[in-house]
Amino acid sequence: MILQGKTILIGITGGIAAYKMCELIRRFKKSGANVKVVCTPNALNFVTKLTLQNLSQNEVFVEEFDVKEWKPEHISLADEADIMLIAPATANTISKIAQGIADNLLTSIACAFSKKMIIAPAMNCNMWQNQAVQENIRILKSRGVEILEPESGFLACGYLGKGRLCGLNKIFNAVCEWLSYSEKLKGQKVVITSGGTIEDIDPVRYISNYSSGKMGFALASCAKSMGAEVVLITTKDFEAPFKIVKVKSARDMQTALDNEFETSDIIIMAAAVADYRVKEVSAQKMKKGESDELTLELVKNPDILRGLCEKKTHQCIVGFCAESENLIENAKEKITKKGCDYLVANDISRSDIGFGAENNEVVIFDKNGETKRLEKASKSVIARQILEVISQ
C-alpha cells in the first residue's frame, strides 16, 4: 500500500548488476508505484532501453539535452519523485555525486535532488576498497544519503570479495521503509525551538549560553522528512526548507511560540532558555567604573515550557533538560514540575555530547514514568529516534 501513488526515480549506472534492476522495477510497479528510470549512457551496455521502458511503462531518460518541455528534464524528474534510488551505482557515479559533478543526466538529477536518496553500490572489490571511493561514500552518508553496502561473494570480474549489489529484497524494503517513514508526521504541525537565548546587558554585551542550535535543527529537519509542517523558532542562523522564526531573548521566543501554539500538534523545546535576564538593560554602553566589582541585577524569565503545558489543549509537548549532575533524579523532578508529555534529558557535563557537540546521548522520560535510553549517536540519529517515540 505504501507504494501506491508514489514516484520512485531509479538511476541505473554502467555495471553488470544493471540487469537485476529489471526485476526490481517489476516489483515496484506491481506494488503500485510510478517508476521513472534514468540511465547513464554506459548502463545501456548492460540492459536495453526498450526493456526498461516496457517494465516501467514510462519513457526512459538518458540524454541530458534531449529536451522536450520548457523545464529541463533533470529538474522536472527531481521535482516529481518522492525518492531517488541509484542501483547499481558505480565508483564513478558515486564519486561524481559526492563531489557535486553533474556531467550527465543522472548526475545532474542527483545534484538537483533534495529529497531522500538511496544508493546501492556495485563494483570490483578493489574499487570498493579504494580510499577515494570510501571517502566519497563517507561524504554521502554525512549528507543523509542511505548507502546499501555491497555484499561479498564471487564478482562478475572473477574476483572474490565485497562488491556485489546487495539483495533486491534489501533495496525494495529500504525504499518502502523510507516512504512509510516519510508519512509518519503527515498532517502534523511540529514547532521546535533551538539555540541559546540572548539577554542584553547593554548595546554590546549580553548573557547567553553555549547552545549551538544543532539539536533543535536536527529535530526540525527530521520532522520535515517525516512529512510534518515544521516551524523552527531559533536564535541561530539556519537555512532550511521549512519555516524559520529568528528570535533573540526568552521573551521573544515566548511570543513566537504563542503565535504558533494553537495550530501546532507537537512542540519540542530543545532551546536553552535563560532563566534570568538583566532587570534594566542599559541604553548606552556601560562604562568601566572606579570599583573593581560590578553587580548586575537579574529578574526571572518566564518559564515558557511550563506556561505552554498549563494552557495546552491537544498538543503533545516535549521538553529537554540539561543536567550536569544527578541526571535521572533531576529529570524525574522536572517532568512533574513542568507538566510536559515527554522530557529528553542530556548530560551536559560531558564535552562529547550536549551543548555544541555533533553527538548526543539522551534518556527520554514520559509522563507515566517510562524511560528509554538512546545510546550516543549523531544529533540527527538521536532526533529521528526521539521523533519515532513521540510519533507513536
Catalytic positions are 157
Torsion of CA 58, 60, 65, 69, to 10 degrees: 0
Query: What residues between 275 and 304 interact with ligand PMT by CB under 6 A?
Result: 275, 301, 303-304
Among 322, 327, 386, 387, which residue sits at the site for ligand PMT (rule: CB under 6 A)? 322
Angle formed at CA 303 by CA 354 and CA 387, multiple of 5 degrees: 45
Helix 214-225 and helix 379-391: axis angle, to 10°?
A: 50
Three-state SS across 332-383?
A: HHHHHHHCCCEEEEEECCCCCECCCCCEEEEEEEECCCCEEEEEEEEHHHHH
Total binding residues toward ligand PMT, as defined by CB under 6 A: 26
Q: How far is the CB of 18 from ligand PMT (least distance, A)?
A: 43
Label the pairing between strands 60-61 and 34-39.
parallel
Distance CA 154, CA 285 (A): 73
For ligand PMT, which is the closer residue by CB, 125 or 272?
272
Instruction: Based on the shown chain and the rule CB under 6 A, indicate whether residue 150 belongs to the binding site for ligand PMT.
Output: no
Instruction: Based on the shown chain and the rule CB under 6 A, indicate whether residue 320 belongs to the binding site for ligand PMT.
Output: yes
Instruction: Cell 504541525: give the residue.
Output: 189
Instruction: Based on the shown chain and the rule CB under 6 A, indicate whether residue 321 belongs to the binding site for ligand PMT.
Output: yes
Q: How far is the CB of 139 from ligand PMT (least distance, A)?
A: 22
Instruction: Based on the shown chain and the rule CB under 6 A, indicate whether residue 319 belongs to the binding site for ligand PMT.
Output: yes
Strand partners, 316: 266
Q: How far is the CB of 230 from ligand PMT (least distance, A)?
A: 17
Query: What residues between 204 and 223 interact with ligand PMT by CB under 6 A?
Result: 211-215
From residue 250 to residue 269, the character string flagging contacts with ligand PMT as x (rule: CB under 6 A) and all else as - is x------------------x
Instruction: Based on the shown chain and the rule CB under 6 A, indicate whether residue 271 belongs to the binding site for ligand PMT.
Output: yes
Among 93, 225, 264, 346, which residue sits at the site for ligand PMT (rule: CB under 6 A)? 346
Instruction: Based on the shown chain and the rule CB under 6 A, indicate whether residue 273 belongs to the binding site for ligand PMT.
Output: yes
Distance CA 153, CA 156 (A): 10
Distance CA 296, CA 281 (A): 10
Instruction: Based on the shown chain and the rule CB under 6 A, indicate whether residue 374 belongs to the binding site for ligand PMT.
Output: no
Residues that bind ligand PMT (CB under 6 A): 194, 211-215, 250, 269-273, 275, 301, 303-305, 319-322, 346, 348, 354-356
